């Protein structure tokens, strides 16, 4: 299963230009026989939109219609595509990522970001609603889940996805560069550490597609990567620039890895033993 992790630089607020750039990039990669392409968090508008969310957010079905029309006219062969965007649902607004099966079932899954940062340079919860669901889903290739940026920094979310059977977790991200004490921004290294730890613990793949470019005086770090079920990094993009990171995923690797390192099976067996404590914590919130 061939993946393209699209590390792209959006033009802030220009949905038409950004969508056209995404579709043009997919056409350029057609000879690569891509099965799944992943665009970053909030790619269609740029991340630091703030009050502009209300004006530029779009419905998931509206985006689906445009992608299906383009696919029918220009692409032909099946393509699965994950896109990060600001979503409008009635009077509610979300930081969302949608999984589209183009040439098949269309909009297959929609994830709304649960953890909205409000620290440092971030102020998401002022303008957006929190998502209230975390569900793995069946793609035409296997079992998958989507977590958006900070969703992934809370390891419990990836654990839930793994317990739900996910073989791969897609992580659209927009991460401003910080900590310049090393050769690359410190947050790029932190992302690599997280993806390797989660992949290795649960015996699955993690595909991180990170935004690039400059927004509101902040540089988006890039550093997209794919990690494998033994916790190894299989492919990594450089920081900052636009990159189409091409990498292959083989779900057949997962069963033997989980057999040799049965942490997920042990967690399933032990979960009933700690569930009362988990329930008590929730009740005390």
**pLDDT band at residue 177, thresholds of 50, 70 and 90?**
confident
**pLDDT band at residue 32, thresholds of 50, 70 and 90?**
very high
Instruction: With residue 147 as reference, give the H or E element that holds it.
Output: none
CB 60 within 8 A of CB 110: yes
Can you tell me the distance from the alpha carbon of 138 to that of 149, in angstroms, rounded to the nearest whole number? 21
Tens of pLDDT, residue by residue over 242-263, are 999 999 999 999 999 999 999 9
Tens of pLDDT, residue by residue over 50-103, are 888 999 999 999 999 999 999 999 998 999 999 999 999 999 999 999 999 999
Q: Would you state the pLDDT for residue 176? A: 85
Q: Does 35 score more than 90 pLDDT?
A: yes
**pLDDT band at residue 9, thresholds of 50, 70 and 90?**
very high
Using CB atoms within 10 Å of the CB of residue 184, give its burial: 0 to 12 exposed, 13 to 18 middle, 19+ buried.
middle
Q: Does 182 score more than 70 pLDDT?
A: no
**Each residue of 40-73: b (16+ CB within 10 Å) or e?**
bbbbbbbbbbeeebeebbbebeebbeebbebbee
Which range marks the domain in which residue 225 is found? 2-284
Q: Does 179 score more than 80 pLDDT?
A: no
Tens of pLDDT, residue by residue over 266-275, are 999 999 999 8
Total domain count, the chain: 1
Q: Would you state the pLDDT for residue 122? A: 82
Q: How far is CA 227 from CA 19, 49, 115, 204, in A?
A: 27, 30, 23, 8
Can you tell me the distance from the alpha carbon of 197 to that of 5, in angstroms, rounded to the nearest whole number? 20
Q: Does 211 score more than 80 pLDDT?
A: yes
**Which CATH number covers residue 22?**
3.60.110.10
CB 240 within 8 A of CB 197: no
Q: Does 181 score more than 80 pLDDT?
A: no
Can you tell me the distance from the alpha carbon of 224 to that of 237, in angstroms, rounded to the nearest whole number? 5
Q: Does 234 score more than 90 pLDDT?
A: yes
Under DSSP, the state recorded for 199 is: H
| Backbone conformation region of residue 30, classed left if phi is above 0, alpha if psi is from -120 to 50, else beta | alpha
Structure token digits, residue 197:
């730890």
Please compute, for residue 146, the number of CA atoms within 13 A of its CA located in the half-sphere on the CB side: 30
* H helix runs in 128-219, sequence order: 150-153, 155-163, 186-202
CB 5 within 8 A of CB 224: yes
Q: How far apart are the first and last CA of the chain?
A: 42
Q: Supply the pTM of this predicted model.
A: 0.95
Name, of 173-187, 213-227, 231-245, the range with top average pLDDT.
Answer: 231-245
CB 174 within 8 A of CB 210: yes
More confident residue, 210 or 278: 210
Mean pLDDT of the chain: 94
Name the one residue in this structure whose structure tokens are 């839930």. Answer: 160
Determine the distance from the C-alpha atom of residue 153 to the mean position of all C-alpha atoms in its chain, rounded to a whole number. Answer: 12
Q: For the sheet with 36-38, list strands across it.
A: 106-112, 92-102, 79-89, 36-38, 2-7, 243-248
């Amino acid at each position: 299963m061939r993946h393209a992790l699209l590390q792209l630089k959006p033009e802030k607020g220009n949905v038409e230009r950004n969508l056209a750039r995404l579709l043009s990039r997919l056409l350029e990669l057609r000879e690569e026989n891509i099965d799944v392409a992943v665009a970053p968090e909030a790619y269609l508008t740029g991340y630091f939109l703030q009050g502009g969310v209300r004006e530029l957010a779009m419905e998931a079905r509206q985006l689906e219609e445009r992608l299906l029309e383009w696919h029918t006219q220009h692409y032909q062969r099946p393509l699965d595509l994950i896109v990060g965007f600001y979503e409008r649902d009635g009077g509610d607004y979300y930081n969302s990522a949608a999984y589209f099966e183009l040439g098949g079932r269309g909009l297959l899954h929609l994830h709304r970001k649960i953890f909205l940062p409000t620290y440092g340079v971030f102020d998401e919860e002022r303008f957006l609603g929190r998502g209230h669901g975390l569900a793995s889903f069946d793609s035409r290739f296997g079992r998958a889940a989507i977590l958006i940026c900070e969703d992934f920094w809370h390891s419990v979310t990836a654990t839930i996805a793994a317990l739900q059977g996910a073989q791969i977790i897609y992580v659209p991200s927009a991460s401003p560069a910080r900590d310049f004490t090393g050769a690359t921004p410190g947050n790029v290294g932190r992302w690599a550490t997280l993806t390797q730890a989660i992949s290795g613990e649960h015996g699955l793949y993690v595909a991180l597609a990170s935004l690039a470019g400059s927004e509101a005086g902040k540089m988006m770090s890039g550093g997209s990567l794919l990690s494998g079920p033994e916790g190894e990094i299989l492919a990594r993009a450089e920081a900052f620039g636009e990159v189409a990171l091409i990498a292959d995923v083989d779900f057949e690797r997962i069963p033997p890895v989980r057999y040799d390192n049965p942490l997920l099976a042990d967690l399933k067996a032990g979960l009933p033993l700690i569930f009362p404590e988990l329930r008590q914590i929730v009740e005390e919130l």
